[in-house]
Amino acid sequence: MFDAMQITSTALSAESVRLDLVANNLANATTTKTSSGFPYQSESAVLASLPAPNRGADAGVGQGVVVSAILSSQAPFPETYDPSSPLANAQGYVAEPNVSLSAQMVDMAEASQAYQANANAFTADKNMVLKALTLGA
């Protein structure tokens, strides 16, 4: 019955996942060794739109967004000179995670703003339903 609310809720969930990823990236910004043996790789969400149904009341209207994949960044690991570290290589360099703090901050602001925009769309739809109930009253 409330299609706009369903569509908006998919976007809210997707933006939540994006914010979760930013939080995880920031938390692991200095993790120099993971279970794979490499430093932590920055992760980002790939969003895909949900297709529109061919029939019914919502024909032709896309049904929202979904996180289709979570990919690890393939950027090279920056290296710092720290010969005393147990992880240092023969030349004394330690590979650091490829988490870019500035990129994460931009991503965080983006996800947060998108979440707010969708929350406002949700409120607008709810108000539209309430307004429709007062029609003719």
Partner 1 sequence: MNPIGLTLNNPIQVGASSSGSLASKSSGSSFGSLLQGAVHSLESSQAQANQQITGAMTGQVSVTQAMVAVSEAQSTLDVATSVRNNVVQAYQSIMNMSV
Please give the residue ranges that form the binding site for partner 1 (CB under 8 A). Answer: 1-2, 5, 8-9, 12-13, 16, 122, 126, 129-130, 133
| Residue 45 CB neighbour total at 10 angstroms | 20
Nearer to partner 1, 65 or 99 (CB): 65
Which tokens in the block code for residue 22? 């930013």
d(CA 27, CA 20): 10
Which tokens in the block code for residue 85? 């570290």
Nearer to partner 1, 20 or 82 (CB): 20
Cα angle 76, 24, 29 (rounded to 5 degrees) comes to 45
Q: Closest approach of Cβ 33 to partner 1, in Å?
A: 29
Q: Closest approach of Cβ 38 to partner 1, in Å?
A: 30
Nearer to partner 1, 20 or 79 (CB): 20
